[in-house]
Amino acid sequence: MPKPRSSELDKECPICGGIIWGKGQKVLLEGAKITVCDNCAQHGTKIYKPSTNVQIKKTAQRKPQTTLKKQTYKPKGIGELEIVLDYAKRIRKVRSNIIFN
């Protein structure tokens, strides 16, 4: 039986210095991919390795791409619009009439 390496037995967390029990968590921390203990894993983004079964399912589920026609919005019944210069006065007058009624 081969002798286990010391690095396999005593893995040390590079952040807190504690012992990593089990495999530890692989995280991306400040651009570096490191293995840390479970407590320090919250300080980085966890890196997940997708299994091969998931990749096979993704390729099997692909459908051919179809082009969708963009629906355009056509307002009904607007006709021609009129631009008025005293718009603010008209709105103020209508709002004051609503408040009194």
For the chain, 101 residues long, give each residue's pLDDT as a single digit of tens. 555 555 555 688 888 888 888 888 889 888 888 899 888 888 888 888 765 555 555 555 666 777 777 777 766 666 677 788 999 999 999 999 887 76
Q: Which long-range contacts (CB under 8 A, 24 or more apart) does 97-101 make?
A: none
With vertex at residue 92, the alpha carbon angle to CA 91 and CA 94, rounded to the nearest 5 degrees, is: 65
| pTM of the model as a whole | 0.40
Q: Give dist(CA 18, CA 22) in Å, integer.
A: 13
Q: Which two tokens stand for residue 84?
A: 């008025």
Q: Give dist(CA 51, CA 33) in Å, integer.
A: 19
Computed from CA positions of residues 58, 61, 63, 68, in that sequence, does the dihedral angle turn out positive or negative? negative
